[in-house]
Amino acid sequence: MVDIRKLILVWLTFASMTLLTFSCSVGAAYGQGAATPPVFFTDAQYQNFMQRNQLEPGSLASCTVPTVTITHSPGYVVPTTPPQTLYADLTATPHAACNDGTPAAFLFRPGYGVAASRWVIGLNGGGQCSQQTTCIQRQNTNLSLTSSQPFMKGKQITPMTGLLSPDPAQNPDFYDANLVQIAYCSSDDWMGDIDGNTAMTSAQIRASKNVSNWYFDGHGIIQGVIQLLQTDYGLNNASDVLFGGGSAGAIGVFMNVSFVSGLLPLQTRLVGLPDASFVLSSFPDYDPATGGETQPPTNYQIEMTQGQSLWGSIGDFGCAYASNQAGNGFNNLACDYPDMLAQNATYQTPLFIRESYHDDTLMSYYNVTFPMTPEETPYATDFDNEMYQALSATNVWLSVFGLNNDMHTMIGTTSYFSGKISTFPGGVKTTLAAAVGTWYSNPCAAPRWMQNPTPQ
């Protein structure tokens, strides 16, 4: 009998070759981080990841995620008390640390009735920093983006509405699930693998104003929160988990959904929802001086290269292991780009990708201003069409909710999540909440809602 794990490893290696070729060509242009083994990915997690995803070598996987019917128990009352603020246990998971070494913080609200085995785990957004000056500016401007100290001193993590709301009027399918919202304090798009100066206290790290002392442990924070939820709050008994996030949190989903797949029990049904930040990794930036396009590398490629150096970023779990097995090490730039990963069938967990074609925040990476100037419009039109093509070219069992507008995130705001009706070709009208519920019930059907891009 053929060992399915060997077949899966062969498939992952095959599927990563295009990514690795891309990374080498890009790396030759502007440098590439050194390969370093991850400090908290384990062989057992990888084996669990492989067993969950039954693949055929050299081809797309067959989606085997079972369908579910979303049901609710009577007697539910919208809670009036705030969710609990909890902290990762640094003794059990020492890598679950904010930039200054304080433990990661998160909100937790337990589920109700039949939904008590269903979980929604959300990652907060908030940009990133990849240089000394921008990181210290980040610490000075909003300490809670680099530390959990403000929460320990009484500042509240602002609960999301939309997908993480406990109100059925705002969140019709998931209001009574276990709701988890992880605060973002690692500044690394949830993909770092660097421990800070363990000889310094958190106060000393903050006072040093030196990022060489910082922790960049985005992966470790997710591991630490999930482990605490498993040991103390029942996550190990989850029937199904929706892992989502917006903005930098969306990149966190892209970079960690395979990792989470390796952390959860095999019987737990897992899907992912990245909202915004489907970056076009090789699309040239706008050149304000000429009104045309810049030469590579792009701003985002430069940011990721700097991030690899500062954060020790690992990127997608499956890609990183395939890269290492192919002799290229874990720290490969190709594992950091969602568009490349999604188009090369790296993701084996069903994803619902929510993206606006000219997302105003995302477009700022490409030097486009908002409101756009007339000179920028032709560039933006080309960008819209390229984004549409890139989303259309993703793995056939990934779902897409693509809008021809400039919205950034939608899942964390009720007015966008359940209050906005979008129209798609054929006269199809739906809210994002309704589309998410349809997909969640049967993700293997891979439904797609995509508006037409701006005509050229």
For residue 4, pLDDT over 80 is answered with no
pLDDT of amino acid 33 = 37
In degrees and rounded to multiples of 5, residue 374 shows phi and psi of -55, -35
Which of the two residues, 91 and 28, has the higher pLDDT score? Answer: 91
For residue 330, pLDDT over 90 is answered with no
Q: How confident is the model at residue 139 (pLDDT cuts 50, 70, 90)?
A: very high
The domain tally of the chain equals 1
Query: Region 392-403: what's the mean pLDDT?
Result: 94
pLDDT of amino acid 30 = 31
Partners of 292 in the β-ladder: 287
pLDDT of amino acid 50 = 77
For residue 262, pLDDT over 80 is answered with yes
pLDDT of amino acid 41 = 73
For residue 98, pLDDT over 90 is answered with yes
DSSP string of 332-388, one letter each residue: -GGGG-HHHHHHTT---S-BEEEEETT-HHHHGGGT--SSPPGGGHHHHHHHHHHHH
Both tokens of 291, joined, read 């009104």
Specify which of 180-184, 194-198, 258-262, 340-344 reaches the highest per-range mean pLDDT.
180-184
pLDDT of amino acid 389 = 97
Query: Region 352-357: what's the mean pLDDT?
Result: 98
Burial class (CB in 10 A: 0-12, 13-18, 19+), 116: middle
Q: How confident is the model at residue 179 (pLDDT cuts 50, 70, 90)?
A: very high
**75-86 tens-digit pLDDT:** 999 999 999 999
**276-309 tens-digit pLDDT:** 999 999 999 999 999 999 999 999 999 999 988 9
CB count within 10 Å of CB 28 equals 9
**The dihedral sign for the CA sequence 267, 274, 180, 433:** negative
Report the range of poorest mean pLDDT among 192-196, 327-331, 370-374.
327-331
- Cα 107 from Cα 23, distance rounded (Å): 37
CB count within 10 Å of CB 255 equals 31
| CA-derived radius of gyration, the chain | 21
Q: Tell me how many helices (H) and strands (E) the chain has.
A: 14, 13
pLDDT of amino acid 48 = 82
Partners of 244 in the β-ladder: 122, 273
Task: Report the relative pairing of strands 269-275 and 286-287 from DSSP bridges.
Answer: unpaired
For residue 1, pLDDT over 90 is answered with no
Whole-angstrom CA distances from 197 to 194, 203, 207, 210 are: 10, 12, 13, 11
Q: How confident is the model at residue 16 (pLDDT cuts 50, 70, 90)?
A: very low
- Max CA distance (Å), the chain: 64
Both tokens of 297, joined, read 């590398």
Both tokens of 201, joined, read 């206290």
For residue 347, pLDDT over 90 is answered with no
Establish if 274 belongs to a structural domain. Answer: yes
Burial call 32-44: b when 16+ CB within 10 Å, e when fewer:
bbeeeebebbeee
pLDDT of amino acid 55 = 45
Query: Region 97-101: what's the mean pLDDT?
Result: 98
Query: Region 31-51: what's the mean pLDDT?
Result: 67
For residue 60, pLDDT over 60 is answered with no
pLDDT of amino acid 93 = 94
Both tokens of 343, joined, read 């188009």
pLDDT of amino acid 82 = 94
For residue 31, pLDDT over 60 is answered with no
Both tokens of 357, joined, read 């074609």
Looking at every residue in the chain, the average pLDDT score rounds to 89
Query: Region 92-121: what's the mean pLDDT?
Result: 97
Establish if 73 belongs to a structural domain. Answer: no
309 touches 303 (CB < 8 A):
no
- Cα 64 from Cα 269, distance rounded (Å): 10
For residue 18, pLDDT over 90 is answered with no
- Cα 330 from Cα 110, distance rounded (Å): 36
For residue 51, pLDDT over 90 is answered with no
Q: How confident is the model at residue 53 (pLDDT cuts 50, 70, 90)?
A: low
For residue 377, pLDDT over 80 is answered with yes
Establish if 71 belongs to a structural domain. Answer: no
**What percent of the chain stands above pLDDT 70?**
89
Report the range of poorest mean pLDDT among 9-13, 42-46, 256-260.
9-13
Q: Which structural domain range is residue 347 located in?
A: 4-65+81-450
For residue 206, pLDDT over 60 is answered with yes
Q: What spatial distance separates the first Cα and last Cα of the chain, rounded to whole Å?
A: 54
Establish if 72 belongs to a structural domain. Answer: no
Q: How confident is the model at residue 35 (pLDDT cuts 50, 70, 90)?
A: low
Specify which of 32-41, 340-349, 368-377 reaches the highest per-range mean pLDDT.
368-377
